[in-house]
Amino acid sequence: MLVARDIQWNFTCNDSREKHRKVSPLSLGLHMTKLHWIKCGIASLLVSLSAHAQSATPHQSPPTAADGIHTAATSSLLRELDSSLQRVVARVAPAVVQITVNGYGPSEDQGHKETAKIARQHAIGTGIIVDPDGYIMTNAHVVEGAQRIRVILPPPPADSELELQPIHAQQILDARLVGIHKQSDLALLKVDATHLPSVPLRSDLRVRQGELVFAIGSPEGLQGTVTMGVVSSIAREPDPDDPMVYIQTDAAINPGNSGGPLVDIDGNVVGINTMMLSKGGGSEGLGFAIPSTIVNFDYENLRKYGHVQRVTIGARTQNITPTMAKALGLSRSWGAIISDINAGGAAEATGLQIDDIVLGVDGRPILGLPDFIAALYLHPADRVLRIEVLRGASPMSFNVPVVVYHDKEELSDIPVVQKNLVRRLGIFVTDLDEKIRPLVHGDRSDAGVLVVAQAAGFSAVDTGLEAGDIIRAIDHTPMQSISQFLTMIHAFQSGDPVVLQIERNGKLQYLAFEME
């Protein structure tokens, strides 16, 4: 659930757990622009403070009537700004929910993904109600491996500033997972409720660097927390090996904010908070949100199909650097270049070539890899993609048919309800049925039991089993189902010798041990 990418910084997904683990839009009736409001408010505050300081300095002239008028005007302006910001929070906050998850996930000391250990976990994150009929968007890593997902609706406004609002039973709703997209780190939940407060998603928002934004969520489990900041960057790619592009903000984001909204001063959802860069584990003003265009695209796909339908043209692109341009003799030292083309793919069939510089996609200019990724990500599955490239000094245009796909599942994506914990061996297993076979390498037989993962926290015998192993037999008895496997395992006494015939990476081998 928590993802860690250790470069010089720690990528921290913002969900709160029992253990700390490192990872990886309402009209306000304003008569001025957003930036003008902010500048006026800050400038007036500074003027007011300066006037106060001068009045407190000895040997200065006493306040005049003009000073009083100026101070009153300043206070009025700040109160109006303050009231406007309060109205934004009051509009959005009722649609922000706390999400609690019980389930299984990778343990802290996991190694390679295929040999990861799974442990019992409890997670707290945030979600935003995007449809009054109970549809909620959150982060995929918040609900990954969930056995039970519950949504806690925010309490009604208190009559008194010091009044504590207890959580009532009717505020806690069971939620089901409609769909999940791990690459974008987004998931869609559904609760059985109607007429809920909601903030609809939009795909036509234009986010600007420097604009004021709010992050609302449950950092460290503190439900309904609001923090404020600005958009630090509108397109940030923190990991060069990850094609995802994020909105960067200095609004405080901490563990537990994951899945919560980043909103502008009009109450529009401009992004879903997903992670932060931190050396110490807390907010350092480097938070990242998934842009609303991607959130809306994934929401519509997950609600309609249960997964995200994306397109590909069979080509890979990279950012052009000055060094690359000089060495390859390119006509420009910036942009996106086609670095690979799949044999037999649509790009090759239409005439695209390696070293073509991408100028535009569907009429949108491409200034770099993030622009190309976004254009391809949001391209409709039923339309031909129009791409303009620069080959040498000659501009060219191609119509490329797209291929629709959705992310291939992995062993870790198998729902927990399909996993069976075998405590004596410290493993999770599942039947090798038609849904599971495409995920494994075994091709010798349709019968067997698949090891999904190792289980952490169990004093089990060292069997040598790894995730992905297919158990074909126990002591020469072929395995046909989980029930048969469990029956035989439970029949062994402590000290009995056991031999498992397994298939690993397409090859058969024996694992021998004594039962404990």
The token pair at 314 is 């069979």
Residue 35: CB atoms within 10 Å: 12
- To the nearest 10°, the Cα dihedral for 420, 102, 412, 477? -10
Q: How far apart (Å, rounded) are the C-alpha atoms in residues 263 and 245?
A: 18
Query: Which of 247, 276, 240 minimizes the C-alpha distance to 263?
Result: 247
Report d(CA 126, CA 141) in Å as an integer. 11
Q: Widest CA span of the chain, in angstroms?
A: 102
- Residue 200 and residue 131: Cα distance in Å, rounded? 6
Structure tokens at 193: 């409720």
**Size of the chain in residues:** 516
Strand, helix or coil at 21?
Answer: coil
Catalytic residue among 24, 141, 283, 356: 141
Given the residues 198, 258, 283, 292, the one annotated as active site: 258
Other residues' Cβ atoms within 10 Å of the Cβ of residue 57: 8
Residue of 185, 298, 371, 431 marked catalytic:
185
101-127 exposure pattern, b = at least 16 Cβ within 10 A, e = fewer:
bebbbbbeebeeeeebbbbbbebbbbb
* Residue 358: other Cβ atoms inside 10 A: 25
The number of C-alpha atoms within 13 Å of 177 and in the hemisphere containing its C-beta is: 25
The pair phi, psi for residue 416, each rounded to 5°, is -60, -30
Burial category of 247 from C-beta neighbours within 10 Å (exposed 0-12, middle 13-18, buried 19 and up): buried
All residues at 6 or more sequence positions from 176 whose CB lies less than 8 Å from its CB, including other chains: 149, 189, 190
For the question of residue 141 being annotated catalytic, the response is yes
Task: Measure the CA dihedral 179/181/187/190, to 10°.
Answer: -10
Per the annotation, the verdict on 258 as an active-site residue is yes
- Position 356, amino acid: D
- Provide the pairing of β-strand 385-391 with 146-152: unpaired
Q: Tokens representing 347?
A: 């790009």
Which residues of 253-309 form beta strands (DSSP E)?
Answer: 261-264, 269-278, 287-291
Distance, CA of 379 to CA of 360 (rounded, Å):
13
**307: which 2 tokens?**
């997964």
Contact 485, 425 (CB under 8 A): no
185 a catalytic residue:
yes
- Name the DSSP letter for residue 180: E
Q: What is the 3-state secondary structure (H, E, C) of 273-326?
A: EEEEEECCCCCCCCEEEEEHHHHHHHHHHHHHHCCCCEEECCEEEEECCHHHHH
Structure tokens at 386: 């129009």
Q: What residues are labeled active site?
A: 141, 185, 258
